[in-house]
Structure 1
């Protein structure tokens, strides 16, 4: 994909448009990493996080992040929180056991966005606050193995996933709905490391 080789140029062009974004789920592992990556790249002139509670940040980089507290049981009453943004990131992921395979994709398609990308990572390598003993064991094993060999089909570091989400936002696409599997997430998320000069 030719666009991926020019990710830096795409980012610089994107910045010129003064776009705004919101993030749902910024308190979770993926959402935290995504917010960090968005602020690091400085792609958006306005960043809003939308969640159930206000988050506390000590770092100066977070001082201009807007926060909207909403009740997810009464989202219709908070529609204004979602308006006026060019890009939305939803990190309210769940396990297949909790979420039901395919249901989320169908619901998202029904919302009729101009463009929607659905990320389907394999095991996300991160430190979770929620205790999942089997997942913890798998993360430790795959984390060690990933240093010795490429295991892009089985896992993805949370930093790579977040970078893929941000990089994907600047890559032009004519697809209405796009589905990115784990290997695609690795390819897009590692562009900074693999791009040619």
Structure 2
């Protein structure tokens, strides 16, 4: 292995993370164009318009780079820097811990975390849960897709049509979690490390 294999792996990992984030955000943005008050093709018209706008933006970017090739250096440098940052290995203990390493029942700990993040609401988006985990120094560089896989592994139901503030995307419903069990007195209720 050469000295450059570590940095190259970090950039490749970061590129994959950024690409996944972009894909999820763009898909969610296009999906938000769907109207619930209409049916048939009229309901999906907003999605088609947003898709057309994306195609126009990509084409305009292509034409701009063709007209000013030096712009590609700036774009490449920006992508490399963002990939380097996104590919940073997790340094916080517990961020990459396997499910088997978690103390107690990991599924119950994750349910407790979901109830805490949900608060008084009946639903919560997974991006909100992920942001909560990252605010607590965990799941850095991870995506909603990683969180979905983890919930599926634990058998926790989640759905791509969960609405919060009339915006449907991946989330969890309180009714799907069941009734919360009483937390032991010595445990804190947030414990985000159990969702790693």
Query: What is the TM-score of this pair, normalised by structure 1?
Result: 0.24
Query: What is the TM-score of this pair, normalised by structure 2?
Result: 0.24
Larger helix proportion of the pair: 2
Q: Which has the larger radius of gyration?
A: 2
Higher RCO (C-alpha under 8 Å, 6+ residues apart): 1
Larger strand proportion of the pair: 1
